[in-house]
Structures are given as structure tokens and as C-alpha cells.
């Protein structure tokens, strides 16, 4: 039976709606009363795992799920061995460098050498500053990254930005964009090559829906 890993959080609702368009109903995950982390489609066609977005590539890489839906930002951060099948066209955001409005810095290269940058995306942050040949200290935070520069712990942050509202409400501005992100369909490379459980057929259905929309 096909197994697909779905991400908790912002991408879940649209991921489920996309699955419904190809005949897979995992809407139980949207029920507030549901506590199950693994459910089967009512028609018995496939099952889904509900996991943290950061864990989707891990489950897919190790073959516990043959397909997965996850943000491109997570793929860039995790460096998992998964096949990136297609951009699904939703969940748009960007990974950006931000500083306080009062800061004199207006681009990444202007940040001080050995300064502190706070981020959940440590690997992406390191790659960015390595490409600039600018040595900085990356401090990993799991939540409320915006607090870093507000309380003076860091000169800047690197975080996901959608509308920019959270930054504005906390007196921060974007000064650079590392890359844009959206939801991607990923697959276990070996299962994709072998077409395990008609994986390729399901992937093509999802691709066709994405193209049609």
C-alpha cells in the first residue's frame, strides 16, 4: 500500500485537499478530535503519516513513506536523500535575512564579521554566509527568532517570511532573500525507480492536478 507523509502545520490543509483531488481522503487529520498519526484512506488505496514538516524528508528517505509533501525550505535545510518530483504550487514564502529597522545594516555583506545571526535554519544560514566569505556565529533558535535582535542577542535573523507582518510588528525589515520556497512533492529514490505500489502513477496524478491548477 502506498504511504505518504503529510506535514503538520501551514501546509497540511492544502496537502490534504490536493490528495482529495486524486481520490485519497485523509481529511480526518483536520479533525480537532483526531489523535491518530497514521490513517488509511477509506477506500483502502493508501495510508498517510502525519509528521512534523522537518521530519517528512527523513521518513521518505528511509522508506517509511514513499511520497511526501514538504516545503522547499526544509529540503534545503535537511539535505535528505529524496527525489524532488515537482513544485506543487502552494505554500509560497521566502527565507530572508532581517534586521531591526534602526539597524545601519542594509545587506548581508554589511553585517559585522563574527557577529551573531539567529535562525532555525542553521545549515541554510551557514551556506549563505559562506558564499559571502563572511564569518558569523549562527545561533540556533527553535521559536520566536524575532526576539534575537530585539533584545540585542543578535545583529540579524534568518527566517521564513510570508506576508512580512510578523517582521513589521516586531520592528524588523528584510535586507536579503536567500531563496523562495513552496510545497514540493518528494519520493523515496529507490521506490520511485522501482515504481513500488504504483508510486509513479500517484505522482503523475498529483503532477497533473498541479499543472491543471
Q: Comparing C-alpha atoms, which of 97, 55, 106 is closest to residue 80?
A: 55
- Predicted confidence pLDDT, tens digits, the chain (213 residues): 899 999 999 999 999 999 999 999 999 999 989 999 999 999 999 999 999 999 999 999 999 999 999 999 999 999 899 999 999 999 999 999 999 999 999 999 999 999 999 999 999 999 999 999 999 999 999 888 999 999 999 999 999 999 999 999 999 999 999 999 999 999 999 999 998 888 999 999 999 888 766
pLDDT of residue 212: 67
Residues 87 and 102 reside in one and the same domain: no
Residues 32 and 79 reside in one and the same domain: yes
Residues 186 and 86 reside in one and the same domain: yes
Phi, then psi, of 67 in degrees rounded to 5: -125, 160
Residues 62 and 25 reside in one and the same domain: yes
Phi, then psi, of 172 in degrees rounded to 5: -115, 155
Label the pairing between strands 83-87 and 183-187.
antiparallel
Query: What CATH number did the domain enclosing 47 receive?
Result: 3.40.190.10
Residues 152 and 206 reside in one and the same domain: no
Residues 100 and 22 reside in one and the same domain: no
Residues 9 and 79 reside in one and the same domain: yes
Residues 127 and 64 reside in one and the same domain: no
Residues 87 and 98 reside in one and the same domain: no
Residues 143 and 170 reside in one and the same domain: yes
C-alpha to C-alpha distance for 63 and 58, rounded to whole angstroms: 8
C-alpha to C-alpha distance for 131 and 148, rounded to whole angstroms: 23
Whether the model clears a pTM of 0.85, i.e. scores above it, the answer is yes
Residues 81 and 14 reside in one and the same domain: yes
Residues 6+ away with beta carbon under 8 Å from 181: 71, 72, 73, 76, 91, 92, 93, 94, 95, 160
Residues 16 and 54 reside in one and the same domain: yes
C-alpha to C-alpha distance for 90 and 101, rounded to whole angstroms: 30
**Residue 54: domain span:** 2-91+182-212
Domain count, the chain: 2
Amino acid at each position: 500500500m502506498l504511504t505518504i507523509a503529510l506535514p503538520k502545520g501551514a501546509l497540511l490543509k492544502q496537502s490534504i485537499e490536493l490528495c482529495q483531488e486524486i481520490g485519497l481522503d485523509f481529511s480526518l487529520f483536520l479533525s480537532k478530535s483526531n489523535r491518530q498519526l497514521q490513517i488509511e484512506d477509506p477506500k483502502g488505496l493508501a495510508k498517510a503519516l502525519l509528521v512534523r514538516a522537518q521530519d517528512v524528508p527523513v521518513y521518505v528517505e528511509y522508506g517509511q513513506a514513499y511520497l511526501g509533501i514538504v516545503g522547499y525550505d526544509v529540503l534545503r535545510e535537511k539535505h535528505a536523500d529524496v527525489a524532488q518530483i515537482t513544485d506543487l504550487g502552494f505554500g509560497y514564502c521566502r527565507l530572508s535575512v532581517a534586521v531591526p529597522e534602526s539597524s545601519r545594516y542594509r545587506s548581508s555583506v554589511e553585517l559585522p564579521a563574527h557577529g551573531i545571526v539567529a535562525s532555525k535554519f542553521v545549515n541554510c544560514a551557514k551556506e549563505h554566509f559562506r558564499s559571502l566569505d563572511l564569518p558569523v556565529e549562527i545561533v540556533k533558535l527553535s521559536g520566536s527568532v524575532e526576539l534575537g535582535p530585539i533584545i540585542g542577542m543578535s545583529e540579524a535573523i534568518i527566517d521564513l517570511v510570508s506576508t512580512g507582518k510578523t517582521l513589521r510588528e516586531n520592528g524588523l525589515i528584510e535586507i536579503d532573500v536567500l531563496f523562495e520556497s513552496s510545497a514540493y512533492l518528494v519520493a523515496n529514490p529507490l521506490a520511485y525507480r522501482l515504481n513500488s505500489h504504483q508510486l509513479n502513477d500517484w505522482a503523475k496524478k498529483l503532477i497533473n492536478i498541479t499543472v491543471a491548477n
